Structure 1
């Protein structure tokens, strides 16, 4: 996602540099890019937590299977 985010930033900068957008639209795009970056960071953190929890549950599954035998 960071690569795509950088591409979006470059595209927005190019369009804003041409002067084809009003100040309001430029501000909106900037806000949206910031929000996208924050959501991407949050998504990455949540994925780490899920992976960490998934590893822990595999251990308990093995233990449960051993206890049932």
Structure 2
């Protein structure tokens, strides 16, 4: 994901250099990139938590299946 974000930043910089971005548009794009970075960080943290809880719940799934039989 960071490669994509770097690509977006490069494209934004190129547009800014050519004068195709208004200050409002640049501000909006910067805000969106910041939000995207935060969501990416949050997503990674959630994945770690899910993986950790998944390891512990395997036993309870087996136990539950055994109880239903």
TM-score scaled by length of structure 1? 0.83
**Partner Cα distance (2:20, 2:52) in 1:** 47
TM-score scaled by length of structure 2? 0.83
Highest RCO, 1 vs 2 (Cα 8 Å, sep ≥ 6): 1
Q: How many residues of Structure 1 are paired with residues of Structure 2 in the alignment?
A: 67
Q: Which runs of 4+ in 1 moved over 4 A?
A: none
The aligned counterpart of 2:34 is 34
Unaligned runs of 5+ in 1: none
The Cα offsets for residues 10-41 of structure 1, whole Å up to 9 and x where unpaired, read as: 11111112111110001000000000000111
Structural RMSD (CA) = 1.8
